[in-house]
Structure 1
């Protein structure tokens, strides 16, 4: 296996990982756009190196993905049969692992925060949770314009510039309600041992408001989101340190290892050992690139600065 290489462009906050037949390139959004769109990514599978790529997609906030001409991606969610996704796809917020396979090619996408979702889409996030929708049916001609513009981009920096231009209309100062939602997002990703009543009190919501806003902006009930963040931090630690005893790596909020295994079956539909052995080359590269770029291995653990 070739040695993995990282290149850092400090001025644009971009990182590239290149290993064998896969390339992952990510660029972070500008400071003004970051509360709404975390950044862009380019995934490439080289056709002269591999026929079909098998991979996974981690539980995440909403993601927009464009499959460039010649490519094809099929997914399986929650054990269902593999099915094609649209070339212009909107992945709603995910609590479950997605299995993916596709032909060699290029995928361009961007991560959308819960705040960004509310500004970009006119329906609650719970309606598209654990679903993949056709972006063309939501945005119409605007989706085609963005897709066309991205096809002409040769670098991730050019891609991010197109996204910045496209998303410029949604950039404005956060409202008082949005500040509460930003605090809620940071709490749900960083304080997974907290009780719901206490979390609502900290944000300034009643318990009912907290639950309603969780589904509207985040797609899931808060208990699921708190479990998701605890589990992801634990399973990522296990996957990143395969030679260590997993019991020493999981979050202290788990009663015992069987409790963690139960969560793994819930979110990933497999055991931790099965996940570690799973073929996931692009996902593993993405984890390393995102860690360099944001300090977190996956998009769903990123927090909003405001």
Structure 2
């Protein structure tokens, strides 16, 4: 069952995030699975939060929610089941009381559950929000959404998700070794340029470009820049009370460069982001840290990859 997170109060609402520990059907490096329970005020008020850019994510909720890019360049999507493609922009979402399952697909997970069965390229979904019920390219996920809808309880919903993934888990991923090498290199803090990424992954530049577009969603240069920003954001979320200069990645030349990147990725300044409450992202980050710590304590060899 999911790991219970600490509830977070947001006015009169309560938000709890719980992570499912990596299991044989949800192997580390492919997907991350968690559930968010939101007990919103009875007056119909919405819970609002902002999410930093991440890998593709499938969301299945009991009630409709709304997602919009923070830069406001395209209309938002209101649905109970969405796929957010690999993102280079922040996301604003709002919802009332609900239970929401989130399946986050790392590049290797994209290759297995999108590339192998349907030949879908991550770059075709990058910076997009898609209603599963309306997007024909994502039709193979409708059975999963229907199974979760019919389950009723959190335990039954989790069982339905695991059964669905079990049907796809035997498919091999032809580019698996290259994807893992690229992803592991991308996470290294000494990788500053595309040349560094090529050297660290052992992949020539032309192979790297093609691989990243197909499974990661963006060109290598954008991925390196995004990862530098994300390291800073994750440090801030772990210690929101600390100054941004403490969270800022060592690759940034100065604070002005960091602020420019923050505006590019989040559509706001660091101080604007910090001024907003984070009733959902706070519990999610805390539950993730606790789940990783427990997994490392139990089986550290299982988490040696991305």
Q: Which residue of 2 aligns with 1:67?
A: 61
TM-score (norm 1): 0.82
- Superposed, 1:78-157 pairs within 5 Å as 78-80=71-73, 83-121=76-114, 122-136=119-133, 137-138=135-136, 142-153=140-151, 156-157=154-155
Structure 1 residues 183-262: aligned runs within 5 Å: 183-191=181-189, 193-262=191-260
Distance 1:64 1:287, change over 3 A: same
Indicate which of 28, 31, 49 corresponds to 1:55: 49
Q: Residue 305 of structure 1 aligns with which residue?
A: 305
Q: Which runs of 4+ in 1 moved over 6 A?
A: none
Name the SS of the counterpart of 1:133 in structure 2.
strand
In 2, the alpha carbon distance for the partners of 1:223 and 1:101 equals 31
Question: 1:67-125, CA deviations, whole angstroms, 9 ceiling, x for partnerless residues?
Answer: 31x43324234223653333221110111111112233222221112122122222110
Give the 3-state SS of the residue equivalent to 1:87 in structure 2: strand
Contact 1:25 1:156 survives alignment (8 Å): no
Per-residue deviation at 1:127?
Answer: 0.5
When structure 1 is superposed on structure 2, of 275-284 and 171-180 the one drifting more is 171-180
Paired with 2:129 and 2:144, the residues of 1 have a C-alpha distance of: 18
**Cα–Cα, structure 1 residues 242 and 60, in superposed 2: closer, same or farther, change >3 Å?**
closer
Assess, with a 3 A threshold, how the Cα gap between structure 1 residues 242 and 109 changes in structure 2: closer, same or farther.
Answer: closer
After the TM superposition, which of the residue ranges 116-125 and 70-79 deviates more from structure 2? 70-79
Q: 2 CA distance for matches of 1:201 and 1:126?
A: 23
Q: TM-score, normalised by structure 2?
A: 0.82
The Cα shift of 1:192 comes to 5.5
- Alpha carbons of structure 1 residues 175 and 54: separation in structure 2 relative to 1, 3 Å: closer
Q: Distance in 1 between matches of 2:34 and 2:241?
A: 32
Residue equivalent to 1:26: 19
Contact 2:191 2:200 in 1 (8 A): no
Q: Deviations over 1:158-216 (max 9, x none)?
A: 43332221011332485563112012112212336343223223433210110111111
CA distance in 2, matches of 1:174, 1:144: 22
Equivalence for 1:5 = none
Q: CA RMSD in A?
A: 2.8
Q: Please list every run of 5 or more consecutive structure 2 residues that lacks an aligned counterpart in the other structure.
A: 294-302
Q: 1:175 and 1:144, CA in 2 relative to 1: closer, same or farther beyond 3 A?
A: closer
| Distance in 2 (alpha carbons) for counterparts of 1:134 and 1:60 | 18
